[in-house]
Amino acid sequence: MTVTQRNYTKYWNRWDGRNQDTGTVQIVNHTVPPNGIFKIEFPILDDSSELQLKASFLDTVSSMAVHDMFKSPSKTYIQLKTRDENIKAGSPFELVVSGNKQLKEFSYMVVSRGQLVAVGKQNATTFSLTPENSWAPKACIIVYYIEDDGEIINDVLKVPVQLVFKNKIQLFWSKANAEPSERVSLRITVAQPNSIAGIVAVDKSVNLMNVSNDITMENVVHELELYNTGYYLGMFMNSFAVFQECGLWVLTDANLVKDFIDVYDHIAFLEENEGYLVDFHDFSSGSSPRVRKHFPETWIWLDTSMGSRTYQEFEVTVPDSITSWVATAFVISEDLGLGLTTAPVELQSFQPFFIFLNLPYSVIRGEEFALEVTIFNYLKDATEVKVIIEKSDTFDILMASNEINVTGHQQTVLVPSEDGATVLFPVRPTRLGEMPITVTAVSPAASDAVTQRILVKAEGIEKSYSQSILLDLTDSKLQTTLKTLSFSFPPHIVSGSERVQITAIGDILGSSISGLASLIRMPYGCGEQNMINFAPNIYVLDYLTKKKQLTENLKEKALSFMRQGYQRELLYQREDGSFSAFGNDDPSGSTWLSAFVLRCFLEADPYIDIDQNVLHRAYTWLKGHQKSNGEFWEPGRVIHSELQGGNKSPVTLTAYVVTSLLGYKKYQPNSDVQESISFLESEFDRGISDNYTLALVTYALSSVRSPKAKDALNMLTWRAEQEGDMQFWVSPVSRLSESWQPSSLDIEVAAYAMLSHFLQHQISEGIPIMRWLSRQRNSLGGFASTQDTIVALKALSEFAALMNTEETDIQVTMVGSGSRSPVKFVISTQNRFLLQTAELAVVQPTAVNISASGFGFAICQLNVIYNVKDSRSSIIQRSIQDQEAFDLDIAVKDDKDDINHLNLNVCTRFLGPGRSGMALMEINLLSGFTVSSDAISLSETVKKVEHDHGKLNLYLDSVNETQFCVDIPSVRNFRVSNTQDASVSIMDYYEPRRQAVRSYNSRAQLSSCDLCGDAHACGPCDSVASASLSHPNACLLVCFMLLFSLQCWL
C-alpha cells in the first residue's frame, strides 16, 4: 500500500479554490500485514495548516482530510498517546503526554458511558492509570492545563477497555462423550452462595449458523456502548471540541477556543477522490451460514438459585441427535454482579452406527414423497445392513417385492467402514394429521432405530367458522334454557378435512384466558402486532384480580408473556423515542403506534417493570406532533387505514392519542391537551358521519367527562343495529370477501361503545353490546386481527368484572346431529375457567341442540374447520372475484428440463379507493420446495419476510392501484411427486375480510418412478432414475460427513 502525505502551509476554502503551496509531500510504501491493519505516524511542519492523506491499494484509491490546524491563539499544543493495545480492567497501562512547550503540571479526566469515572493531576509526562470495569467498553481520556494567559490547552484519547468480570462461573460435563439417551451430569460452580445462575445447552450447529442468542462478552459490550456519549471531533478543531468529544460541557472563565470550521472545505476535497479511508476495526469476517439438519436445537434451558452452596449438579438425559452439544452459563450475585463462562463446554453425542431420516416437514394428502434413510457406519469393518420401515395404516410404501435385496418395507445395503449409504422408500400418506414413521437398521455388528413425524395436510384452502351462545342462568326464575347452534358446509369441500368441535366454559373471558398464547390465526411480526402477546394479559390480570380468581400459575404465565412482549416491543422503539412498525428501519415514527404502545405500557406498569424513560420519550415525541389547535398529525406510514387515512383521520387519530396520554402518570391536564379535547368537541358539533370516528371520539370525550360525551354516546347508540337482545354496528366497508365474522372495524366500534357506556356508568345499556361482542370470537379466543382483539378484550374485561358470576353450577347437555350419545359438561365454581371440549360427528348440515340447567353463566361455542377446493385454480393464473379487494396474479416460471427449480412471479394491486393499510401476503410453497432466507430483498414495499414451515409471510407497507410484483425463487429440497396445488393470499392486516386468494402449481412434476432413485425397486418403473435427482442426496451425505468430521476435529 502506498500512502501519500500532503502538508498545506496555507488554508484553502471552497470559494477561493485550493492553494497549491505544498510545504512537503511524503510518499510511504507499506507491506500490508495479514490482518490488514497497520499504523503510521506523520511528521507535521510547524507552519502547516492542513494535513491530507491519499492511500492506494491495488486499483483502489481513498483520500481524506485528517486534521485542519488545531485552533490555538498561542500555537501551543499537547498530544496524548498510549502504546498499550490490550487494556483490561484492573491492569495498569501507560500514557505519554508530549507538547511543543515544557509541561509542568496538567490535569486529566476519564469519561465512560456518560459518567466521570476518574480525575487527577500529574507532573510527569509519562504516567500510568489502572482502569476499572466502569471504564469499559471505551474510556475517553482528556488531559489539559491552563496557560499563563488563560488559554486552555488540551487533548483527548479514546481507548477500548476490556471488561474483566469479578464474578466467576464454571461448567463441567461428567464425561466428554456419550451415546444418545445416556444419563450424564452437568456440574456448575460459582464464586458466591445465593447467586442466580442460568444454563443453556444447544446443538453446536446452531452456533455454526451464527444465530446464537446466548449472553456473551460481545453482547454485554454492545449494550454498554449504547450509553456512550460524545460528538465527532472532526466538526470542531479547538479545545472546546476536545471536551465535546467526551460528551462534556464546560463552564469556565478561562480562554476556551470554540472556532467553527467550514465543513464544506473537507467535502470539496473528498468529492475529487474515489472514497474515504475507513476504520478497519469496524469490519470483522463472518463465516457463511451452514444449514442445520438435526433437532432439537435446545437441550437444556434453566435458571437456578444456588442457595447456600457454590455448586450444583444436574443429571440429564442426552437427546437422540448425533451431534455435539455446547453448554454455557451466566451468574448474577449481589456483591460481584455478572459473570459468564469463558468458553462453552462440549459434550459429543455419538454412536458408531446410526441412521438419519431426511424428509419434508409436511406434505399434502395425495402426494408421494421419497423417504431418504442414510446409514452411517463408523465401525472398523464394512457391514451389510437391513433397513426396515415399520408398516402403518397411515401410509403406503410404493415398493415392489420381486427385486433382489428388496421387499415392500425393507431393503438391504452394504455400508463401507467410515462411510455412509442411502436407501429410498417411496411413501404415500393415507391419513391427515401427524404421521409417525419408524425406521430400523440392523446389521450383524450394530443396530439403530429412529422415529420421526411428518405433517399431512388436506388439499385445498383451510377455512374456519365459529358460533357462540351465552347461557345466562343468573335469573333465579330461569332454571333451564334451550339453544341451537348450526352450520352448513359449502360446496367444493375437501372430503376428510372437516372437524366439528363444541366447547363450554363458565366465564365470559374464559376462552380468551385459555388461549392467551395464541389468540388469532394470523402471523404477527411488526411493532403493533407484537402487542397481541402483551396487552391481553393486562386485561386478564386486571379482571381476575378484581374477581379474586387469580391463581399463582396463571399469574406467572401472564407475566411471562408480558415480559417477553415488552422486551420484543423495545426493538421497535426508534432513537427519537417513538415507535413504528419496523423500528429504525422505517423513515419515521408512527403517532398511532406510539400512542398505542404508550397506552399498553402504562396499563402494564403495575405488573411488570417498565422503564420510565421509555414512557417519557414516547410521551414527549407524541406531544411534539400536536398542532396548535390540538390536532395530532401522523408523519409515519399508514398501518391502520381506517384510523390513519381518510378525510376524518385527524379527528380519529387525535381521539386515539388523547386516550393514551390521559393514562400517563406524570401528566396533569394542561392547555395543550385541553386544546385536543376542544378540537374533538368542535368536530362533534360539526358532525361526524362514520361510526368508527364517532366511537373513538365518544370514548375520548367520556374519558375526560366532557359535557359532550353523553350526546356523543346517544348519537352512536341511535345508529346501532338491534337483533334480539344484541346491539351492534355495521359499517359500509367496500369490496369485502364473504366471511362469517363481522369486519374488524365493527368489532372495534362495539368495543369503544362498550367502554364509553362503562365510563358513563351506563352498565345495563352496554349489556346488549357485550352479548353481541362475546359471540364474535374465533375458536382461539380472539377476533379477526390484533387491534380489534385487544380493544374488544379490554371492553369485555371491564364489563365482566361487574357481573356476579362467582357462584356457578350448570349442567350442559349437547346433542349433535348424527351423534349416537349426548355430550355432557358440568360447569362449577371450581372449574369455570376450564375450557371443556368435545369432537362431534361430521354431518351435513351440522346442528347442535344445547340444553342447560342450574345457576350461573356459561358460553358454548361451535367451531368448524374444513378445506375447500379451489375450482378456479390454473397453472398460470386465475380470474378475479367481484367481491375481492385485491387483484392477484401468479405466473409460474418452470422448466421441464429443470424440475428442481421453480420461480413464482406474484403481482397484486388494491381495487379499493386510495390504498390499503399494512398488507400481509402469505405464499405457500409447493411441497418439497424451499426458499433461501436472503432470496427476497426488503424494499420500500416489502418491509419484512418470515419463513414459516413451507410458507412465506411478506409484510407489505401498503398496496395501492399501481401493480406491485415480487419474484419467489424456490429450490427442490425433497422429492415429492403428484404435487398438489398451493395457495397465495393477500389481505389487509387490520381488515382481513379485504383479501384475495389464488392457487398455483407447476407443469414440471416428478413421477412416482422418480422417487426410487437407482434402487431398482419400483416395480413397473424404469430402474434408471434421473441423475439430477441423485445429486442432492449425494451432497447431503458428503455434507453431513464433513460436518461431523469437522466437529470431531474441533
Region class of 854: left (phi > 0), else alpha (psi between -120 and 50), else beta: left
> With b meaning 16 or more CB within 10 Å and e meaning fewer, what string describes 377-391?
bbeeebbebbbbbee
Q: How is residue 504 annotated by DSSP?
A: E
Q: Are 902 and 924 in contact (CB under 8 A)?
A: no
Of 989, 993, 921, 987, which Cα lies nearest the Cα of 776? Answer: 993
996 CB neighbour count, 10 Å cutoff: 24
**What number does CATH give the domain 508-522+531-730+740-804?**
1.50.10.20
Angle at 964 between CA 962 and CA 969, to 5 degrees: 165
221 versus 337: the higher-pLDDT residue is 337
81 versus 807: the higher-pLDDT residue is 81
Interatomic CA distance for residues 43 and 57, integer angstroms: 22
pLDDT band at 654 (very low <50, low <70, confident <90, very high): very high
Interatomic CA distance for residues 590 and 572, integer angstroms: 11
Tell me what the mean pLDDT of segment 86-113 comes to.
Answer: 87
Q: How is residue 646 annotated by DSSP?
A: S
**What number does CATH give the domain 169-210+287-349?**
2.20.130.20
Of 774, 852, 849, 841, which Cα lies nearest the Cα of 468? Answer: 774
Of 780, 774, 778, which Cα lies nearest the Cα of 795? Answer: 774
Does pLDDT of 10 surpass 80?
no
Please give the pLDDT value at position 714.
93
Enumerate residues 6+ apart whose C-beta is below 8 A from 67: 50, 51, 237
Interatomic CA distance for residues 21 and 8, integer angstroms: 7
Enumerate residues 6+ apart whose C-beta is below 8 A from 53: 3, 4, 5, 6, 42, 63, 64, 66, 277
Tell me what the mean pLDDT of segment 216-236 comes to.
Answer: 62
Tell me what the mean pLDDT of segment 22-33 comes to.
Answer: 70
Does pLDDT of 1034 surpass 70?
no
Q: Which residue has the cell 353450577?
A: 809
Residue 551's Cβ-count burial label (10 Å; 0-12, 13-18, 19+) is exposed
Span of 29-38, 892-901, 1032-1041 with lowest mean pLDDT: 1032-1041
Tell me what the mean pLDDT of segment 906-913 comes to.
Answer: 87
Please give the pLDDT value at position 906.
92
Angle at 881 between CA 880 and CA 885, to 5 degrees: 90
405 CB neighbour count, 10 Å cutoff: 15
Enumerate residues 6+ apart whose C-beta is below 8 A from 878: 872, 889, 890, 998, 999
Angle at 740 between CA 736 and CA 746, to 5 degrees: 65
259 versus 35: the higher-pLDDT residue is 35
Please give the pLDDT value at position 701.
93
Interatomic CA distance for residues 472 and 468, integer angstroms: 13
Interatomic CA distance for residues 21 and 9, integer angstroms: 7
Interatomic CA distance for residues 571 and 948, integer angstroms: 21
Does pLDDT of 192 surpass 90?
no
Does pLDDT of 16 surpass 80?
no
Please give the pLDDT value at position 473.
80
786-800 and 535-546 helices, crossing angle to 10° = 10
Enumerate residues 6+ apart whose C-beta is below 8 A from 164: 88, 89, 90, 133
Tell me what the mean pLDDT of segment 767-790 comes to.
Answer: 84
Q: Are 850 and 469 in contact (CB under 8 A)?
A: yes
**Three cell numbers written together for 516:** 392467551
The amino acid that residue 195 corresponds to is S
pLDDT tens by residue, 795-852: 988 888 887 666 788 888 888 877 778 888 898 888 888 888 888 888 888 888 888 8
Does pLDDT of 730 surpass 80?
yes
pLDDT tens by residue, 385-409: 898 888 888 898 887 655 545 556 8
Report the SS3 class of residue 76. coil
Report the SS3 class of residue 1035. helix
Strands 846-868 and 836-840: unpaired
Please give the pLDDT value at position 231.
53
Please give the pLDDT value at position 194.
87
**Three cell numbers written together for 1050:** 474441533
Residue 245 CA, distance from chain mean position? 36
Please give the pLDDT value at position 267.
36
Q: Are 157 and 141 in contact (CB under 8 A)?
A: yes
Please give the pLDDT value at position 1005.
84
Does pLDDT of 694 surpass 90?
yes
Average pLDDT over the chain reads 79
Can you spell out the DSSP letters for 151-202? BEEEEEEEEE-B---SS-EEEEES-SEE-TT-EEEEEEEESSTT-EEEEEEE
Q: How is residue 493 annotated by DSSP?
A: B
pLDDT band at 698 (very low <50, low <70, confident <90, very high): very high
Region class of 24: left (phi > 0), else alpha (psi between -120 and 50), else beta: beta
Please give the pLDDT value at position 738.
59
Report the SS3 class of residue 910. strand
Can you spell out the DSSP letters for 328-396? EEEEEETTTEEEE-SS-EEEEE--SEEEEEE--SEEETT-EEEEEEEEEE-SSS-EEEEEEEPP-TTEE
The fraction of the chain above a pLDDT of 70, given in percent, is 79
Interatomic CA distance for residues 305 and 198, integer angstroms: 9
Tell me what the mean pLDDT of segment 275-285 comes to.
Answer: 32
Please give the pLDDT value at position 229.
62
pLDDT band at 639 (very low <50, low <70, confident <90, very high): low
Please give the pLDDT value at position 191.
86
Interatomic CA distance for residues 245 and 745, integer angstroms: 52
CATH number for 873-1006: choose from 2.40.30.10, 2.60.40.690, 2.130.10.10, 3.30.70.80: 2.60.40.690
Interatomic CA distance for residues 620 and 59, integer angstroms: 50
CATH number for 353-361+370-393+406-415+424-456+1009-1048: choose from 2.30.30.50, 3.40.50.1820, 2.60.40.10, 3.30.460.10: 2.60.40.10
> With b meaning 16 or more CB within 10 Å and e meaning fewer, what string describes 521-535?
ebbbbbbbbbbbbbb
249 versus 1016: the higher-pLDDT residue is 249
Domains 78-164+226-282 and 873-1006 share a fold: yes
Q: Are 867 and 458 in contact (CB under 8 A)?
A: yes
Q: Which residue has the cell 408398516?
A: 391
Q: What fold, for 78-164+226-282?
A: Immunoglobulin-like (2.60.40)
Of 796, 909, 787, which Cα lies nearest the Cα of 524? Answer: 787
451 versus 636: the higher-pLDDT residue is 451
Of 526, 521, 597, 533, which Cα lies nearest the Cα of 943? Answer: 526
Angle at 438 between CA 437 and CA 441, to 5 degrees: 140
Enumerate residues 6+ apart whose C-beta is below 8 A from 534: 561, 562, 565, 566, 569, 600, 604
Q: Where are the domains of the chain?
A: 2-68, 78-164+226-282, 169-210+287-349, 353-361+370-393+406-415+424-456+1009-1048, 508-522+531-730+740-804, 873-1006
Interatomic CA distance for residues 859 and 589, integer angstroms: 41
Tell me what the mean pLDDT of segment 993-1016 comes to.
Answer: 79
Please give the pLDDT value at position 704.
87
Strand partners, 57: 60
Does pLDDT of 178 surpass 90?
no
Does pLDDT of 478 surpass 70?
no
Please give the pLDDT value at position 754.
92
Give the Å distances, CA to CA, from 951 to 315, 354, 653, 740, 923.
39, 31, 35, 25, 6
pLDDT band at 108 (very low <50, low <70, confident <90, very high): very high
Span of 361-370, 745-754, 868-877, 901-910 with lowest mean pLDDT: 868-877
Q: Are 145 and 123 in contact (CB under 8 A)?
A: no
Tell me what the mean pLDDT of segment 781-808 comes to.
Answer: 82
Span of 225-234, 798-807, 978-987 with lowest mean pLDDT: 225-234
Please give the pLDDT value at position 262.
40
